[in-house]
Amino acid sequence: MISQDIQKVLIEETQINERCKELAAQIEADYQKRGQVPVIVGLLKGSVPFMAELIKRFTFPCEIDFMSVSSYDGTESIGDVRIDKDMDLSCKGREVLIVEDIVDTGRTLREVKKLLKRKGAADVKVVSLLDKPERRVVEIEADYIGFRVPDEFVVGYGLDYNQKYRNLPYIGVLKPEVYR
Protein backbone atom coordinates (compact mmCIF):
# COMPACT_ATOMS: atom_id res chain seq x y z
CA MET A 1 0.00 0.00 0.00
CA ILE A 2 1.45 3.32 -1.05
CA SER A 3 -0.04 5.08 1.99
CA GLN A 4 2.51 3.19 4.12
CA ASP A 5 5.25 5.33 2.53
CA ILE A 6 3.68 8.55 3.84
CA GLN A 7 5.23 10.18 6.90
CA LYS A 8 2.57 12.84 7.36
CA VAL A 9 -0.53 14.13 5.64
CA LEU A 10 -0.35 17.88 4.99
CA ILE A 11 -3.70 18.45 3.29
CA GLU A 12 -6.69 16.10 3.59
CA GLU A 13 -8.95 15.22 0.67
CA THR A 14 -11.94 17.02 2.23
CA GLN A 15 -9.89 20.23 2.54
CA ILE A 16 -8.87 19.97 -1.12
CA ASN A 17 -12.47 19.47 -2.24
CA GLU A 18 -13.65 22.44 -0.19
CA ARG A 19 -10.89 24.67 -1.56
CA CYS A 20 -11.67 23.56 -5.14
CA LYS A 21 -15.25 24.69 -4.62
CA GLU A 22 -14.06 28.13 -3.45
CA LEU A 23 -11.53 28.51 -6.26
CA ALA A 24 -14.05 27.44 -8.90
CA ALA A 25 -16.54 30.04 -7.65
CA GLN A 26 -13.89 32.78 -7.72
CA ILE A 27 -12.69 31.81 -11.22
CA GLU A 28 -16.26 31.51 -12.48
CA ALA A 29 -17.12 35.02 -11.25
CA ASP A 30 -14.00 36.49 -12.91
CA TYR A 31 -14.49 34.76 -16.27
CA GLN A 32 -18.21 35.47 -16.40
CA LYS A 33 -17.41 39.18 -16.18
CA ARG A 34 -15.04 38.88 -19.13
CA GLY A 35 -17.66 37.25 -21.34
CA GLN A 36 -15.13 35.22 -23.38
CA VAL A 37 -14.79 31.46 -23.79
CA PRO A 38 -11.44 30.66 -22.16
CA VAL A 39 -9.22 27.67 -22.88
CA ILE A 40 -8.39 25.76 -19.71
CA VAL A 41 -4.94 24.19 -20.18
CA GLY A 42 -3.82 21.47 -17.80
CA LEU A 43 -0.10 20.77 -17.48
CA LEU A 44 0.35 16.99 -17.61
CA LYS A 45 0.56 14.95 -15.63
CA GLY A 46 0.38 16.49 -12.18
CA SER A 47 -2.63 18.75 -12.76
CA VAL A 48 -5.06 15.96 -13.75
CA PRO A 49 -6.86 15.27 -10.41
CA PHE A 50 -7.02 18.98 -9.53
CA MET A 51 -8.24 19.97 -12.98
CA ALA A 52 -10.97 17.30 -12.88
CA GLU A 53 -12.14 18.48 -9.45
CA LEU A 54 -12.11 22.13 -10.50
CA ILE A 55 -13.67 22.19 -13.97
CA LYS A 56 -16.69 20.08 -13.11
CA ARG A 57 -17.81 23.02 -10.95
CA PHE A 58 -17.60 25.59 -13.78
CA THR A 59 -20.94 26.47 -15.36
CA PHE A 60 -19.55 28.95 -17.92
CA PRO A 61 -18.57 27.80 -21.42
CA CYS A 62 -14.92 26.85 -21.70
CA GLU A 63 -12.66 24.60 -23.77
CA ILE A 64 -10.16 22.12 -22.39
CA ASP A 65 -6.66 21.28 -23.56
CA PHE A 66 -3.39 19.87 -22.22
CA MET A 67 0.33 20.51 -22.47
CA SER A 68 3.12 18.29 -21.27
CA VAL A 69 6.31 19.87 -20.01
CA SER A 70 9.04 18.30 -17.92
CA SER A 71 11.39 19.94 -15.53
CA TYR A 72 12.04 17.40 -12.77
CA ASP A 73 14.14 14.28 -12.32
CA GLY A 74 13.21 12.66 -8.98
CA THR A 75 13.15 15.56 -6.50
CA GLU A 76 15.57 17.74 -8.50
CA SER A 77 14.58 20.60 -10.79
CA ILE A 78 16.71 20.13 -13.94
CA GLY A 79 16.65 23.89 -14.48
CA ASP A 80 15.51 23.53 -18.06
CA VAL A 81 11.91 23.18 -19.18
CA ARG A 82 11.19 20.81 -22.07
CA ILE A 83 7.92 21.01 -24.01
CA ASP A 84 6.95 17.38 -24.70
CA LYS A 85 3.41 18.04 -25.95
CA ASP A 86 1.99 21.37 -27.07
CA MET A 87 -1.68 22.44 -27.00
CA ASP A 88 -3.93 21.01 -29.72
CA LEU A 89 -6.16 24.12 -29.82
CA SER A 90 -4.88 27.49 -31.00
CA CYS A 91 -4.43 30.01 -28.20
CA LYS A 92 -4.16 33.00 -30.58
CA GLY A 93 -6.34 35.82 -29.29
CA ARG A 94 -7.78 33.55 -26.59
CA GLU A 95 -7.95 33.85 -22.82
CA VAL A 96 -5.99 30.97 -21.33
CA LEU A 97 -6.18 29.59 -17.80
CA ILE A 98 -3.25 27.29 -17.01
CA VAL A 99 -3.94 24.62 -14.38
CA GLU A 100 -0.90 23.55 -12.35
CA ASP A 101 -0.43 21.23 -9.39
CA ILE A 102 2.44 23.20 -7.84
CA VAL A 103 4.53 26.34 -8.34
CA ASP A 104 7.94 25.54 -6.86
CA THR A 105 10.99 27.27 -8.42
CA GLY A 106 8.59 28.95 -10.86
CA ARG A 107 10.62 27.93 -13.93
CA THR A 108 7.91 25.78 -15.51
CA LEU A 109 5.32 28.52 -15.26
CA ARG A 110 7.65 31.20 -16.61
CA GLU A 111 8.44 29.12 -19.70
CA VAL A 112 4.85 28.04 -20.35
CA LYS A 113 3.50 31.59 -19.95
CA LYS A 114 6.24 32.89 -22.24
CA LEU A 115 5.38 30.30 -24.88
CA LEU A 116 1.64 30.99 -24.81
CA LYS A 117 2.17 34.76 -25.02
CA ARG A 118 4.56 34.24 -27.95
CA LYS A 119 1.83 32.25 -29.67
CA GLY A 120 -0.55 35.17 -29.32
CA ALA A 121 -2.71 34.35 -26.27
CA ALA A 122 -4.69 37.47 -25.34
CA ASP A 123 -4.45 36.75 -21.62
CA VAL A 124 -2.74 34.03 -19.57
CA LYS A 125 -3.79 33.35 -15.98
CA VAL A 126 -2.75 30.51 -13.69
CA VAL A 127 -4.50 28.45 -11.05
CA SER A 128 -2.28 26.20 -8.94
CA LEU A 129 -3.35 23.74 -6.27
CA LEU A 130 -0.13 24.35 -4.32
CA ASP A 131 2.40 27.13 -3.92
CA LYS A 132 5.85 26.64 -2.38
CA PRO A 133 7.12 30.25 -2.21
CA GLU A 134 10.30 29.48 -0.22
CA ARG A 135 11.77 27.67 -3.22
CA ARG A 136 11.12 30.34 -5.83
CA VAL A 137 14.04 31.32 -8.10
CA VAL A 138 11.89 33.16 -10.65
CA GLU A 139 9.64 36.09 -9.78
CA ILE A 140 6.26 34.64 -10.69
CA GLU A 141 2.95 34.02 -8.89
CA ALA A 142 -0.18 32.08 -9.76
CA ASP A 143 -3.37 34.17 -9.96
CA TYR A 144 -5.35 31.62 -7.93
CA ILE A 145 -3.75 29.41 -5.28
CA GLY A 146 -5.23 26.49 -3.36
CA PHE A 147 -2.73 26.10 -0.51
CA ARG A 148 0.74 27.30 0.51
CA VAL A 149 3.06 24.43 1.44
CA PRO A 150 6.37 24.52 3.32
CA ASP A 151 9.70 23.71 1.68
CA GLU A 152 9.22 19.95 1.68
CA PHE A 153 8.86 17.57 -1.27
CA VAL A 154 5.17 16.72 -1.40
CA VAL A 155 3.29 13.93 -3.19
CA GLY A 156 -0.29 12.92 -3.86
CA TYR A 157 -3.31 14.41 -5.65
CA GLY A 158 -1.36 14.37 -8.92
CA LEU A 159 2.09 15.10 -7.52
CA ASP A 160 4.67 12.36 -7.94
CA TYR A 161 8.00 11.11 -6.78
CA ASN A 162 9.56 9.22 -9.69
CA GLN A 163 6.09 8.93 -11.27
CA LYS A 164 4.51 7.28 -8.21
CA TYR A 165 2.04 8.48 -5.53
CA ARG A 166 0.00 10.62 -7.97
CA ASN A 167 -3.07 8.53 -7.11
CA LEU A 168 -3.07 9.35 -3.38
CA PRO A 169 -6.26 11.34 -2.62
CA TYR A 170 -4.41 13.76 -0.27
CA ILE A 171 -1.14 15.75 -0.14
CA GLY A 172 1.57 14.24 2.02
CA VAL A 173 5.28 13.98 2.70
CA LEU A 174 7.16 10.73 2.12
CA LYS A 175 9.15 8.87 4.77
CA PRO A 176 12.88 9.65 4.33
CA GLU A 177 13.70 5.97 3.67
CA VAL A 178 11.65 6.07 0.44
CA TYR A 179 14.27 8.38 -1.11
CA ARG A 180 17.15 6.05 -0.21
Q: Which is nearer to ligand PRP, 91 or 126 (CB)?
A: 126
Query: Taking CB under 6 A as the rule, does residue 100 contact ligand PRP?
Result: yes
Angstrom distances, CA of residue 150 to CA of 28, 39, 153 = 28, 31, 9
Q: Which of 58, 77, 143, 152 binds ligand PRP (CB under 6 A)?
A: 77
In 56-86, which positions are buried (b, 16+ CB within 10 angstroms) versus exposed (e)?
eebeeebeeebbebebbeeeebeeebeeeee
Q: Which of 24, 102, 126, 145 binds ligand HPA (CB under 6 A)?
A: 102
Select the binding partner of residue 103 from ligand PRP, ligand HPA, none (C-beta < 5 to 8 A, by kind). Answer: ligand PRP
The DSSP element (H or E) to which 30 belongs, if any, is: helix 13-34
Question: Between residue 131 and residue 160, which ones bind ligand HPA under the rule CB under 6 A?
Answer: 153-155, 159-160
Point out which residues bind ligand HPA (CB under 6 A): 72, 102, 104, 153-155, 159-160
Point out which residues bind ligand PRP (CB under 6 A): 43-46, 70-72, 77, 100-108, 160
